[in-house]
Amino acid sequence: MQKELPVILVTNDDGIAAPGIRALVEAVKDLGRVIVVAPDSPQSGMGHAITIGHPLRLYRADIFDGIEAWQCSGTPVDCVKLAKDKILHRKADICVSGINHGANNSINVIYSGTMSAAMEAAIEGIPSVGFSSLDYNYNADFTVAKEVARTVTQRMLSAQLLPHTLLNVNIPITTPEDFRGLKICRQAYAKWEEEFDHRLDPRGKDYYWMTGKFLNMDDGTDTDVHALKDGYASVVPVKFDLTDYKVKEWLEKEWE
């Protein structure tokens, strides 16, 4: 009897028409039965948002050769939830998200729709991974990123992983020749320093565009920021138990 192919759920936050998700589909399509469920429009910065005040639309969108694909009007997390309940009718064997056009290392994991989609699957007990290229351009070269996505997906499918395993993989801007491989890292402590660009609309009313610069406050050599600077792809295992056990201990002594 033939072994059943693993079901690979593919999603992203840049929208189903982004080159990054096409690169990801190409990278993993012969590793299992690929099903794409992705937002119908760009959803960058949506974090773990879900849609509760509006209904959702879900349409077939067969824009990948021979691959079942759906587009959804909601957020990346909505896509994963809808895929489970209305499309797959079973648990996927792995969820891969991306390849994002832009970095999701360090604190970006919190704001990232790419990573939140993968986290939603991990909460469901599906080993999951988000891939992000540091090149945010529409025409980014995904050669190295595709190779990384394929290698990591293969390793995850063949390893005995804990069901809630979730990886945040970022790929530097580099060539296959200069690429130095994977590096297991921790999340660097960094933040965004926002400066809102204040403008006046044609009726003289104020409005603001969010702009910001990324500030790395962490000089550790074991961080994702450091690995990426050195030409590695960073691999940070991520968890969704946000309890701070150190502060918990302190509070138990002081407050109870």
Write each residue from 5 to 44 as x if it is in contact with its own copies (CB under 8 A), else as -, in one continuous string. -------------------------------------x-x
Rounded least distance, CB 2 to its own copies, Å: 29
Write each residue from 187 to 226 as x if it is in contact with its own copies (CB under 8 A), else as -, in one continuous string. x-x-x--xxx-xx-----xxxxxx----------------
Q: Cα–Cα distance between 210 and 126 in angstroms, integer?
A: 34
Q: Which of 25, 38, 225, 238 binds its own copies (CB under 8 A)?
A: 238
Could you tell me if 139 and 19 are in contact, meaning their C-beta atoms sit under 8 angstroms apart? yes
The position carrying tokens 């970095």 is 103
Could you tell me if 105 and 227 are in contact, meaning their C-beta atoms sit under 8 angstroms apart? no
4 sits near its own copies (criterion: CB under 8 A):
no
Other C-beta atoms within 10 Å of 36: how many?
26
DSSP secondary structure code for residue 16 in this structure: T
Q: Which of 81, 101, 146, 226 binds its own copies (CB under 8 A)?
A: 81
Which range in 26-34, 63-71, 134-142, 177-185 contacts its own copies by CB under 8 A?
Answer: 177-185
Could you tell me if 77 and 120 are in contact, meaning their C-beta atoms sit under 8 angstroms apart? yes
Q: Which of 10, 119, 126, 134 binds its own copies (CB under 8 A)?
A: 119
Which range in 20-28, 30-38, 169-177, 241-249 contacts its own copies by CB under 8 A?
Answer: 241-249
| The residue type at 69 | A
Could you tell me if 116 and 47 are in contact, meaning their C-beta atoms sit under 8 angstroms apart? yes
251 sits near its own copies (criterion: CB under 8 A):
yes
Which range in 29-37, 62-70, 117-125, 129-137 contacts its own copies by CB under 8 A?
Answer: 117-125
CA atoms 218, 46, 52, 64: torsion sign: negative
